[in-house]
Chains A and B, each alone.
Chain A
Amino acid sequence: MLFNSFDFILFLPTVLILYFLTPHKFRWILLLAASYFFYMSWKVEYIFLILFSTLVDYFIALKMERINQKKKRLPWLLMSIATNLGLLFFFKYYSFATNNANGMFQSFGIDFNFPHLDFLLPVGISFYTFQTLSYSIDVYNGRQQAERHLGYFALYVSYFPQLVAGPIERFSQLTPQLKKKHTLEYDNVANGMRLILYGLFIKMVIADNIGTFVDQIYADPTIHSSLEILTGMFMYSFQIYSDFYGYSLVAIGAALIMGVRLMDNFKTPYLSINIAEFWQRWHISLSTWFRDYVYFPLGGNRVKWARWIFNIFVVFIVSGIWHGANWTFIIWGALYGIVYLIESILNKQLKLSNDIKPFSVRHILMAIKTFVLVTFIWVFFRSQSLDEALFIFENLGRNFDMESNNFIIPNTVWIFLSLFLLSDILLYNKRFDSWVGQKNGIIRWSIYSILIFAIIVFSGVENHPFIYFQF
């Protein structure tokens, strides 16, 4: 059940109405049932994975809490990590690992092949796996008490607004809110609806319309001119941003109506002055996860210079692997590592300050530089293989012909893209719900009308599933 589906239009109001009609002490049952139903709408069988992961982490956490010595808790933590990452490995990385291994066996003349297994990747597995892992690690470190109520713990793992593509929430942030008694509050409903509306607009009108043209470019770059390929590359930057940002806003909005505040996942990332800032503004719930559970345990930046470089690379490469089982993601992560390091070293050597006045000339120039870098790096993310990525770059410098090869982007797409860019500038360090909430009634309803009309009339009609669902 996609957020931009008719099913979800019916599902969400039904759950919300039932939620506020249900007495507080039974709400967790309703939300858990709704969340499992939501998840099973993709593939019924995969609910067993969530159940398994939930039960394992629930009991391991209880066990760890009863052990005083941290050292003795370690085997239990390792069991949790092995179980979660084992599932993730099996479903997400098995084919990648075995294909590479089989290729290696073949090149060494070894007559052995791992069997090929064909199954659909359980939607959201990377997200809820990381969510439960953070809980186990926090309990192990004594930062979090183990949850005794299995129902609430199961709800933490599977809460439907953020189950399949985040934001990846911490137990300490989400569960107390799920336990709290929420009454129907007008501001929550209004702000939640605003976020859902804006989220659907940027997903359905911006991302889905752009996606059709990006697909054309990547399907066969040889028939397109350099300018068209470049346009396609920049279009993809906007597609993936509006796609994932849109999804996150719907998730945050849906939860907000229930009184649950999920963390912001994006803060105008394309206005960042460098890669370090970009990662503070892009997929924030994942980047902070890696910061807290990978980078800091490795020593962060309070280590020797060589070790710090190592730490940075580990974080970015693991982040790449998290996104998908493909060398393209590893290269994508590694490239971020390289650019991050170069920028950090340059900043240090040239003693450049990051304290720049927003929308000053320097800010604009640096933001453009960052955006261009990110756009080129996205090519690896979008490509199905390294060859495809290199093929795109190869063709980029091949045909400077200005003639169009049926690659005509309609004016409406340009208009909406411009509106989106403008709104990103207006929303710099703000959120859409609070920004629009401050406008007077006429302006507010004019904005709503434009968004609603655009969603209904100008949405892309081809099916472009949320890009991050594949992770």
Chain B
Amino acid sequence: MENGILKRIGFKVLLLAILLVGMNYIYQYFFFKADLTKYSDIAEQVNSLPQNVDIIYLGESSNVTYLEKDRDKRAISEFINEYLPDLDVVDITKPASHSGIYYAILNQIPAKNEAKTVIVTLNLRSFNAQWIYSDLETPLQRGLVLMRNNSPLVNRLMLSFKDYDIKSKQERERQFKGQWLADEFKVPFPFPHKNVKDWDYWQAMNPIKDSSGNIDQYQTIITTQFIKTYGFQIDTLNNPRIQDFDAIVALAKQRNWNLVFNLMGENTEKAERLVGEELVYFMRENRDLLVNYYGRKGVVVVDNLETVPDSLYVDKDFPTEHYAEKGRKDIAKNVANAIKND
């Protein structure tokens, strides 16, 4: 009895499998391209990458954000190309990207591509739990599903069944706040705060006052944002960004790429003015760790941490790596010089 049923079910499963193969062809020829445009602009960028390029620049919003009054609104990657006129630089820019996304992009670059150098944006903030567990991660991960190494229909099935990291905003907030609590500071000087949450709370309870002694809410909020953004110490064993950058290093070796990490400028000047030298200590300590760690792995790390002065930051209300024209040019010049000298 059950054998008969199993045969009937087996026949239907076979029929379904044949249908799915047919559907895969229909999807591939009529719908896949439109889906890539709609759901995976990264894949589109990778697909449109010229084969005979010299340098690929991977960046996030820092590459393309400019100040409205900039005379020259070109991206950092374009300035690099200006400083290296004999080489052809092409960028792949995806706002809010990080090493995990860069790795997925690099993994998709066809083997026949002639690029010799890959410049990857190394953003200090992206190592912070707040960015690691950011709700921007959901759309980023969604954008990668159609790029997986499966047949197009299987990838679309995975996209439809939400086979990507889909935690709610509330869950993500819990994650990074939990991480903030768990990451206790280890510094070689007396420091009253156990972790960043503690530090942030203290700052909120001791607001900044203006010259007449009134609480300056605006400055206090910016100050707490700086604390929350830079008050962390990178743990090379457990930070997922390190694991992804390590994977990029391994991939670059395999593909014979010269790898350059562009450690972006952060507003240390403002951090020192608002919070004090303790916060700058954290920023410099993380910078030193990354420069040494990846330097030892043979990566050229361009240290731009303190390249851009406060006046050249586009966003005044919160910490970002968005620079005015001169800032972008200075960063680009340092990267170009590092490539020339390599």
Contacts and interface: CB of A to CB of B under 8 A. Distances in A.
Interface of A: 2, 4-6, 9, 120, 183-186, 189, 204, 445, 449, 452-453, 455-457, 459, 461-463, 465
Interface in B11-30: 15-16, 19-20, 23, 26-27
Given A186-B9, A461-B142, A453 B159 contact: no
Contacts of B160: 4, 204, 455-457, 459, 461
Given A456-B23, A457-B156, A461-B39, A185 B163 contact: no
B9 A456 contact: no
Contacts of B8: 186
A6 B153 contact: no
Nearest to A185: B5
Contacts of A459: 159-161
Interface of B: 1-2, 5-6, 8-9, 15-16, 19-20, 23, 26-27, 31, 35, 39, 138, 142, 153, 156-163, 166, 168, 170-171
A456 B27 CA distance: 10
Given A186-B8, A452-B19, 5 more contacts: A184-B6, A189-B9, A452-B16, A455-B160, A459-B159
Contacts of B23: 449, 452-453, 456-457
Contacts of A445: 15, 19
Contact of A6 (B26, B138, B163): B163
A438 to B, nearest CB: 17
A28 B142 CA distance: 38
B170 A120 contact: yes
Closest 6 pairs between A and B when the two form their complex, measured CB to CB: A459-B160, A6-B163, A463-B166, A6-B161, A186-B5, A456-B157
Nearest to B20: A452
A185 B23 CA distance: 29
Nearest to B19: A449
Given A452-B19, A456-B27, A463-B138, A6 B156 contact: no
A406 B168 CA distance: 26
A457 B31 contact: yes
A4 B162 contact: yes
Contacts of A6: 158, 161-163
A463 B138 CA distance: 9
B27 A457 contact: yes
A2 B2 contact: no
A120 B159 CA distance: 26
A447 to B, nearest CB: 12
B162 A2 contact: yes
Contacts, number: 64
Contacts of A5: 161-163
Contacts of B19: 445, 449, 452
Contacts of B31: 457
Contacts of B2: 183-184
A456 B166 CA distance: 18
Contacts of B171: 120
B42 to A, nearest CB: 15
Nearest to A186: B5
Contacts of A449: 19, 23
A384 to B, nearest CB: 14
Contacts of B163: 5-6
Contacts of B168: 465
Nearest to B161: A6
**Among A183, A186, A462, which residue has the most Cβ atoms of chain B within 10 A?**
A186
Contacts of A463: 138, 162, 166
Nearest to A3: B161
A453 B30 CA distance: 13
A455 B27 CA distance: 12
Contact of B161 (A4, A120, A457): A4
A120 B20 CA distance: 39
15 contacts: A4-B161, A5-B163, A6-B158, A6-B162, A6-B163, A183-B2, A204-B160, A453-B27, A456-B23, A456-B156, A457-B27, A457-B153, A459-B160, A461-B39, A461-B162
A185 B159 CA distance: 32
A189 B19 CA distance: 19
B162 A456 contact: no
Nearest to B9: A189
B173 to A, nearest CB: 10
B5 A456 contact: no
Nearest to B168: A465
Nearest to A449: B19
B320 to A, nearest CB: 25
Nearest to B167: A463
Contacts of B161: 4-6, 9, 459
**Among A2, A186, A457, A459, which residue has the most Cβ atoms of chain B within 10 A?**
A457
A118 B8 CA distance: 52
A189 B10 CA distance: 12
A7 B171 CA distance: 19
Contacts of B142: 461-462
Nearest to B158: A6
A204 B157 CA distance: 11
A456 B170 contact: no
A463 B194 CA distance: 37
Contacts of A2: 162
A9 B154 CA distance: 13
Nearest to B166: A463
Given A457-B31, A461-B142, A184 B5 contact: yes
Nearest to A43: B171
A461 B5 contact: no
A83 B211 CA distance: 57
Contacts of B162: 2, 4-6, 461, 463
Contacts of A452: 16, 19-20, 23
A132 to B, nearest CB: 27
Nearest to B15: A445
B158 to A, nearest CB: 6
